[in-house]
Amino acid sequence: MLVFAIETSCDETSVCIMDKNRHIYSHIVHSQEIHKKHGGVVPELAAREHLNVLQEITEKAFSESNISLRDINTFAATCGPGLIGPLLIGSTYAKSLAIGNNKPFIPINHIEAHILSPTYNNKITYPHLSFLLTGGHTQIYLLENKEDISLIGETVDDALGETFDKVAKLLKLKYPGGPQIELSAKLGNELAYKLPMPMLNQENLNMSFSGLKTAVSILVKKNKPNNKIICDICASFQLCITNILIGKLTKALNLLNDKSINISSLSVVGGVSNNKYITNKIRTFLRNENIDLYLPHKEMMSDNAAMIAWSCLNKKKLNEDIFFKPNPRLKI
């Protein structure tokens, strides 16, 4: 069973050829540079760039893997959630290949693919918690097993990756902001500024990050940031969001414990899982709770087509649907 998968939900154009034994024959991720000068993703530009590069990277994937289009058994593509223009480009391209080669088309949920990504390189134990931290979503999911996934908490406003990007823009750091903030934070004093942690003391698993952006914007106006101040703000920001995440994790474990659900492992997935400061702090916290931390393979952390292929290969029943309409707010 060979899958050809496409990911185009935001600003990464990616294709992957994978077989059922999880062997990757080719995996190409093209990160669109065009958004850097705008400090954030411009949906229309993203869609055009997907259209420009999809054919080229598809041809490259087949030529470097020495696999022919006719060998592919299934075509898969992200159908949501994401930006509608980019979703339409990738899914229509995959559907056309499926029709042209008389093979099934499988729509894939981007969030589900992120959640399943650590099962590619880890033997996950259940019940399991998944902390999904991306540019568009910040959610906590409870997994009884690979198929039984329920949402138990989420941000009520900005997503965490989005907050990293917006704070970076305020500090005049490059897009995407996450990696830049992580770098600058290494040189800063994390106790320099006390930033707000809204909703931390509420007895639910929801989070709020938009106030942090406002707090940083006030700091920027007051201080005329030099390099030292920028590094201190980055370090204080990272400490603050890590405290929010660990505070909500503690609540999640307690609430589940009250329902006799004893979590045995946790994963952090999505672009923000690249952040070693955050994952190391979470790992240390979990060690005291006797809970294992799993992370996706490096190439499956940020948006990529390998996790789309893997999600397709994990389906018990292939729900082939050539008429599936991409949905920007697709739910699991």
Query: Does residue 129 interact with ligand KG4 by CB under 6 A?
Result: no
> With CB cut-offs between 5 and 8 Å by kind, which of ligand KG4, Zn ion, none does residue 272 bind?
ligand KG4
Check if the beta carbon of residue 14 is closer than 8 Å to that of residue 305.
yes
Query: Does residue 179 interact with ligand KG4 by CB under 6 A?
Result: yes
Number of residues that bind Zn ion (CB under 5 A): 2
Of 23-31, 173-181, 283-291, 302-310, the segment contacting Zn ion by CB under 5 A is 302-310
Query: Does residue 182 interact with Zn ion by CB under 5 A?
Result: no
Q: Residue 115 or residue 291: which is nearer to Zn ion going by CB?
A: 115
Query: Does residue 304 interact with Zn ion by CB under 5 A?
Result: no
Query: Does residue 177 interact with ligand KG4 by CB under 6 A?
Result: yes
Q: Restricting to residues 200-239, which ones interact with Zn ion according to CB under 5 A?
A: none
User: In angstroms, rounded to a whole number, what is the distance separating the alpha carbons of residues 208 and 124?
Assistant: 29
In the DSSP assignment, the letter for residue 123 is -
Number of residues that bind ligand KG4 (CB under 6 A): 20
Residue carrying structure tokens 């059922």 = 20
> How far apart are CB 13 and ligand KG4 at their closest, in Å?
13
> How far apart are CB 9 and ligand KG4 at their closest, in Å?
7
Query: Does residue 43 interact with ligand KG4 by CB under 6 A?
Result: no
Of 42-50, 67-75, 88-96, 128-136, the segment contacting ligand KG4 by CB under 6 A is 128-136
Q: Restricting to residues 92-151, which ones interact with Zn ion according to CB under 5 A?
A: 134
Give the DSSP per-residue string, 16-84: EEEETT--EEEEEEEE--TTGGGTS--HHHHHHHHHHHHHHHHHHHHHHHT--GGG--EEEEEEESS-H
Long-range interactions of 158-162: CB distance < 8 A, separation 24+: 158/209, 158/210, 158/213, 159/133, 159/134, 159/135, 159/209, 160/133, 160/134, 160/209, 160/241, 160/272, 161/133, 161/134, 161/135, 161/136, 161/270, 161/271, 161/272, 162/135, 162/136, 162/209
In the DSSP assignment, the letter for residue 204 is S
Q: Restricting to residues 135-164, which ones interact with ligand KG4 according to CB under 6 A?
A: 135-136, 161-162, 164
User: In angstroms, rounded to a whole number, what is the distance separating the alpha carbons of residues 311 and 202?
Assistant: 34
Q: Which helix or strand (DSSP H or E) is residue 170 part of?
A: helix 160-170
> How far apart are CB 119 and Zn ion at their closest, in Å?
16
Of 145-153, 193-201, 218-226, 265-273, the segment contacting ligand KG4 by CB under 6 A is 265-273
Query: Does residue 270 interact with ligand KG4 by CB under 6 A?
Result: yes
Q: Which of 49, 182, 232, 303 lies at the binding interface for Zn ion (CB under 5 A)? A: 303
In the DSSP assignment, the letter for residue 269 is E
Query: Does residue 32 interact with ligand KG4 by CB under 6 A?
Result: no
Strand partners for 15: 6, 28
> How far apart are CB 183 and ligand KG4 at their closest, in Å?
8
Query: Does residue 266 interact with ligand KG4 by CB under 6 A?
Result: no
Which two tokens mark 261?
Answer: 């659900």
Which two tokens mark 7?
Answer: 């990911």
Which two tokens mark 65?
Answer: 């893997």
Which two tokens mark 254?
Answer: 């307690």
Q: Residue 49 or residue 303: which is nearer to Zn ion going by CB?
A: 303
Residues near ligand KG4, by CB under 6 A: 10, 134-136, 161-162, 164-165, 176-179, 182, 270-272, 274-275, 302-303
> Would you tell me which residues interact with Zn ion (CB under 5 A)?
134, 303
